[in-house]
Structure formats: structure tokens, C-alpha cells
Structure 1
């Protein structure tokens, strides 16, 4: 990532003038911190920490931003930086900034990272309030996606008037690089195989999906780990998965483009019949038809081709990947 000349010092001066401007003033969480949302979060994350249940429960610290989100209907009743309470104006400083970036050709956006700091535990019944400010706008940068500006927004989140934490969210507003009309075929990258997961990939080569089982407490685990995260035992054996599962969650990948893949495509978090979850591609169905709860069945997909014309493919003989297709389509192992 490199700095590039803005082409107009005046443009960056206008962008930098947004630093310090309020994006949200006196925002109020739509719901009190509550046990059902904490439970849903912990179930989704697989976090069974007892601190999140019972009469003295606290909310997971990483839920900090969740209590500020407006959902599909958005927020109403709090003021934006102009002081008006209409919902359309609450983030008008950001709207103005983004309009200026759009006008400069930076019409695409991608989230790059977030940072959180925690100062006070949130508990069921807390009413969350928040303010947000445009903290920084970077000079124009060149990335593989294109050239543009990083915009960082800081949100200060309070409960009972006391600072509970801060949330910094950074995006890149950029002008996308023109994609070549003809792309050279590039092999799918091979998985990284090490001493901890070699047995898994040996099973895949034999068209067997193996799950680790702790020899101490019997807990199944995936992905493969050197020890049990339930009892700490380093001893284990394996069980073979039946191949049946459901889509627990999924995302549709659009960016960044990679020559070995053809976005958009679906990546699913598959809950196997045995109870563990794994990340894999959902194939045999259009990406926009994948649904949470969809029954799927394991199959093994051949990848790599030593005939492909790329230096990266040299010696890249065919190998196998576990993927899932809708169960009604049938498995083709």
C-alpha cells in the first residue's frame, strides 16, 4: 500500500476537514442489554463461558457494537451533528464525506478492520448510549483493490453515563482497478498441511472426513487441534463423519477478487450431523440460493491441474477438497 499524489491538494484538504466532525450525537441503543441477545450471541460463537449466564451475568465484551446497531429499521429520535432528530440526518457528516469521495471516483467501499477497547462490563438492564466522530481520513492510498482513502470512525459507548468502551471502524472508499477482460487460469492454492492437521488431509485423500475425538473426555472437535479445549488432554483418536449437515451460516464473497476463484460464490459454515462445524464451499446451487438451515451433503472436489498455464501450478497435480452441495442434489463422492 503506497501513498499516491492526490492530483488535487484542494480535494484532500476538503476531505481532511471532516476529521473531528460528529457522525452521531446522543445515540440511544434500541434495546436494553438483555439475556436473549447474549444467549443468541454465545450460541452463534460457541462460547459457553459461565460468566454470561445466571443472576450476575455480564455481556461478552465483543458484543460492544451490537447494542448500538439499529437493524433494518435504523434508529429514530436521536440527533445527528446538525442537532435535528430526523433519522435521515443522523449521519449527514458521513453522507457528505462519502458523496465527496464518490464524486472523486471512489465509488466502492470495503471494510478493512475494527478495534475495540473495554472499560466497563455491560449487564442485562443497562441502557447504552453512544456518540460517533469521524476520527481520520487518510491521504490517497494505492491498494490492490484500487486507490482511495481510509476513513476511520470512532464510537464512544456508555452505560449509565459511564464509558463502557470504544469502537473504531475503518473502511476504504476507493476507485476500483479495471479488471482484465481475459484472466489467465491460476490454480487454486493448496491447503497448508502441518503436523497438527496432516491426518485430516490424509483422510480427505481417501474420501473420508475425519473429526478428532478427545481420548480423555470424548469431546469432538473441529478444526483439528493438538489438544482438547474442553479438558486439555493431548490424546485423541478420530471418528468418520457421515457427511450429512446443514448450513449454519454463510457469506457471499465478492471481494477481494483472486484469479483462482470466480466471485461471487458462497462460503458456508456447515454444522455436521455429529455436532461440529466446519467452513467449506457450498456448490451445486447459485450463490444467491444458499439459505441458513439448508440440508447439505459432503462430496469431494478435485482441485489443481498440472496442465494449467501458470508458474504457480508447476507440479500441482490434482488433489481433493471437502465441499458440500444441497442434499436434494445428491452427493457425488
Structure 2
């Protein structure tokens, strides 16, 4: 099948290199420590200066999986430090979207590493549009695989050194059951429902409680330890006996992310998601409502709010910021 004329513009982008995106800060021990705490990583090579000094590396190094984090823009979108490019490395995705390929069904990324990154190094990355595949037709629709390569470098007086690489691949497609963009008919577009949570014997009590407007937390009957997510055994005393306690629903934002891309219906975008620390002492992940992107803050007080979706088929615990 002959490709549309506009695809020649897409093909011409392949191989394009986009300028560097710089890191705001040098690789530093406080950020490494906080990342390890959040991810539950306790390798002393990353946090114990005395231990790290006794190894072949001679000092604290950054966890390899943290590579991408050093060059993120921070809380505000596209807020990169001076010296960063103003080019949009995702322009090919916007071009595909403008021709009706707006949906995403598959995204994958692979990180590879040349070496450990040490405290004091300053990183940046460049982006190359590596490939736009041939048109593929699936049961979901027709689209294209787009592959981007981000190469990470450490600035050196003798010449910058490559330290790692990120491959990002996404499938952009036009849904088979949606009419072409040039002649849309709203009545032919099927309403997309929110994905339902997976429910097991361990978690059923939680979702039954949510449906009833209660935030139930699992409690060990032997030692009283609260735990979330729910599980079959107490991590403290290993007892299998448990009951539940109804939480007040009050807490604070321990951490949060704001999802900007890809835009996945039926969620609103930007889509804020918080790690909520309940006053009872456990944490859970939930959506944030009633707050503008630039008003969300660590430590902000929140209160649970149960909302129903898809004509009452699904109820979710969301959290709304409240006045101090």
C-alpha cells in the first residue's frame, strides 16, 4: 500500500539529532539517598561513603537505574536549565497524531549503561529519531512503531564521555473502530471506560470497602501492625491472622507525579497521581483531584473522596487537598 504524501515528511525526520538536554544539578549524594529511600534500595555502595571508599570505585556512585532522573526537568514541564535545546524531540509523534494516529497501545524503554556515574559529574543527553517502522495493522487498528534513542554523556574537560543510553519505542495507531479524523461522528466513538483494578483474595476486602465508601487498612491481629498494600502475612511477626481498621481518610502528600504524555483516555491530562501517607501511618497510591498542577506540594494535607465512574461500575478512592 502506497504511503500517504505526508509520510514523506515523517520519513525525512528519521536520523534527526536533537540537541542536548542538560541536568540542573551535578550527580549528588542527597538525591541518591532520597531515590534509594523511595525505591527501597539499601546497597551501601550508593549511600555509605565509608563503605564506597573501600571499593574499587573509591566513592559513592549513582544507581544505574537512576540515570534518566538526573536530566529530568523537575516539577514544571519543559523547565530545562540554560544550555539545553529548545527543540522538540517528539515532533514526529505530534505529526502522526495530526493525521489521526492518536492512540497508544504499546510503550517500552530499555536502559543500558557504560559505567557507574560518580558524585560530582554533570550529565546531559541528546536524542536521535532512530526509526519509524512500516505501517502495521492489528486488531486494534493501524499505526507505526516510533523509536527514539537518548544518549547520556558526562561532561569532561578532555572530551565528553558516554555513560548510558535509553531506547524509547511507542506504537501510535488509529483505532479500527473510530472513523477517520476528517469525517468524525461522535456517535460512532465508543466510550472508553477506566481500567478496573485487579482483585484477589488478599485485596477484595479493600475494594469492597471502597464500594461502600470506607477506606479499610489491613491490620495484623497478633502485633497490630498496619500494612498496605494488603498481603497474606505480616511482614513484622509473620502472622497469617489479620483484620481491618477503617482509616479516617486524612493524610498528606509524601510524593507525587504528574502524567503529561502519552495522553491515555479516559483520564484527564495532565494527570496528577500522589503517594499518600495516611495519618494511620501507611502509604497508598491514588489520584489527586481538585488541585492545579502548580499548586500540588509535598506535605500538603489531603482527604479521601470516593468517586464513581462508568455509570457506577467502578468506585475509586481519590484525594483532594484541604486547607491546613
TM-score normalized by the length of structure 1: 0.65
How far did residue 263 of structure 1 move? 6.7
| Residue aligning to 2:47 | 53
Alpha-carbon offset, residue 69 of structure 1:
4.0
- 2:67 aligns to what SS in structure 1? helix
1:7 aligned partner: 4
| In structure 2, C-alpha distance between the alignment counterparts of 1:322 and 1:226, rounded to whole Å | 22
1:223 aligned residue: 229
Change (3 A) 1:69 1:291: closer
Are 2:139 and 1:128 aligned?
no
| Cα distance, 1:12–1:252 mapped onto 2, change above 3 Å | closer
Change (3 A) 1:226 1:6: farther
What does 1:158-169 align with in structure 2 at a 5 Å threshold?
158-159=153-154, 163-169=162-168
**Deviation of the 1:135 alpha carbon:** 1.3
Unaligned runs of 5+ in 1: 79-86, 307-315, 329-333
Q: Deviations over 1:87-137 (max 9, x none)?
A: 44xx48x48x64993797479697944221234222312343544322112
The residue that corresponds to 1:33 in the other structure is 27
Q: How many Å apart are 1:23 and its aligned residue?
A: 2.3
Q: Contact (CA 8 Å) 2:13, 2:92: kept in 1 or not?
A: no
Q: Distance in 1 between matches of 2:271 and 2:125?
A: 36
Separation in 1, partners of 2:107, 2:239: 37
Aligned residue for 1:116, secondary structure, equals strand
**Residues 172/290 of structure 1: CA separation in 2 closer, same or farther (3 Å cut):** farther
C-alpha change, 1:304 and 1:216, in structure 2 (3 Å) is same
Contact 1:147 1:174 survives alignment (8 Å) = yes
User: What is the rounded CA distance, in whole Å, between the counterparts of 1:275 and 1:241 in structure 2?
Assistant: 10
Deviations 1:222-274 (A, max 9, x none): 2223345x66936353443221112342536783223xx67776544322112
Q: Tell me, in whole angstroms, the C-alpha distance in 2 between the residues paired with 1:165 and 1:232.
A: 42
Q: Does 2:199 align with 1:193?
A: yes
Relative to structure 1, the CA distance from residue 40 to residue 107 in structure 2 (aligned partners, 3 Å threshold; closer, same or farther) is farther
Distance in 1, matches of 2:68 and 2:232, equals: 33
Please name the residue that 1:331 is paired with: none
Contact 1:215–1:233 at 8 Å: present in 2 too? no
**In structure 1, distance between residues paired with 2:80 and 2:36:** 24
Matches within 5 A, 1:207-286: 207-213=213-219, 220-227=226-233, 233=238, 235=240, 237=242, 238-247=244-253, 248-251=255-258, 255-258=263-266, 267-283=273-289, 285=290
- Quote the Cα distance in structure 1 between the aligned partners of 2:40 and 2:64: 12
TM superposition shift of 1:18: 3.6
Give the root-mean-square deviation of aligned CA atoms. 4.6
1:54, CA displacement in angstroms?
Answer: 1.9
Q: In the comparison of the two structures, how many residue pairs are matched?
A: 295
Counterpart of 2:69 in structure 1 is: 66
- TM-score by structure 2 length? 0.66
Secondary structure at 1:65's aligned position in 2? helix
Q: CA deviation at 1:6?
A: 2.4
CA distance in 2, matches of 1:54, 1:76: 32
Once residues 13 and 184 of structure 1 are traced to their aligned partners in structure 2, the CA distance between those partners, rounded to angstroms, is 32
